[in-house]
Each structure stands twice: as C-alpha cells, then as structure tokens.
C-alpha cells in the first residue's frame, strides 16, 4: 500500500476532448493525477502511467475533491493499484474537532 503526501496540486480544466484533472505533487514533482470522467459512464481502471498514479472519478466528484484539497491538511493519495481501493484521504482527526470558529470582537 502506497500513501504519498499531497503537498501541492494543480487543476487542469481543458477545452475540447480532454477531461478535467487535478495534478498531484510532492517535493515539487508530479506523482499522480485525479481524472474526472463524464457522469454516468463506467470509469477506467485506476493504473499507473509513466510512474504516476491515475485515479478516476466522475465529474460530479470534482468539487468534493477540490474541497478536501483546499480545506484539509495534511492530505494523502492512497494508491494500491488496479482492482484495489485508491483515493485521497486525510489523517485521523479527533472526534468533535469541528471547524475553527471566528473570534467575535467584544461590544
């Protein structure tokens, strides 16, 4: 099981025939991408290409993945290869941690 920290990401939202992708980086180098296929279609099998992980999602999952990458730290790519569970994940968080609340100024 390979778990790699996602230190940076880039969103590629191309025109024409190319589907949206999120490129994942660690140590300044690309190590994988999340690829968003049209909703309702069967997804290709997750695989590696050129030493990088390709993990497929439906387009309806793009915003969920972006929200995690924008709001959680640290984030990781879990990649076990074809026919296994792959995806992005957080680390364990304490129960009831909640989101930070803004500090209200005294009146």
pLDDT of residue 50: 93
The number of distinct structural domains making up the chain is 1
The reply to whether omega before 5 is within 30° of 0 (cis) is: no
- pLDDT for the residue 16: 87
Residue 105 lies in a domain: no
Q: pTM for this structure?
A: 0.85
Q: Among residues 67, 66, 20, 15, which one has the least CA distance to residue 39? A: 20
Which residues span the domain enclosing 58? 2-37+46-90
Which tens digits make up the pLDDT trace of 18-37? 999 999 999 999 999 999 99
Q: Which of the four pLDDT bands, split at 50, 70 and 90, describes residue 92?
A: confident
Predicted confidence (pLDDT) per residue in 42-76, tens digit = 999 999 999 999 999 999 999 999 999 999 999 99
Residue 100 lies in a domain: no
Q: Examine residue 12 and state whether it is found in any structural domain, yes or no.
A: yes
Q: Which long-range contacts (CB under 8 A, 24 or more apart) does 44-48 make?
A: 45/82, 45/83, 46/79, 46/81, 46/82, 46/84, 46/86, 47/81, 47/82, 48/81
């Amino acid at each position: 099981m390979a778990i790699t920290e996602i230190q940076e990401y880039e969103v590629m939202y191309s025109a024409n025939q190319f589907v949206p992708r999120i490129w994942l980086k660690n140590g300044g180098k690309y190590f994988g991408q999340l690829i968003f296929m049209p909703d309702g279609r069967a997804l290709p099998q997750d695989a590696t290409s050129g030493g990088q992980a390709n993990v497929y999602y439906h387009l309806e999952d793009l915003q969920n993945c972006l929200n995690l990458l924008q709001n959680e730290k640290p984030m990781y790519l879990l990649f076990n290869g074809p026919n296994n569970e792959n995806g992005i994940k957080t680390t364990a968080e304490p129960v009831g941690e909640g989101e930070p609340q803004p500090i209200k100024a005294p009146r």
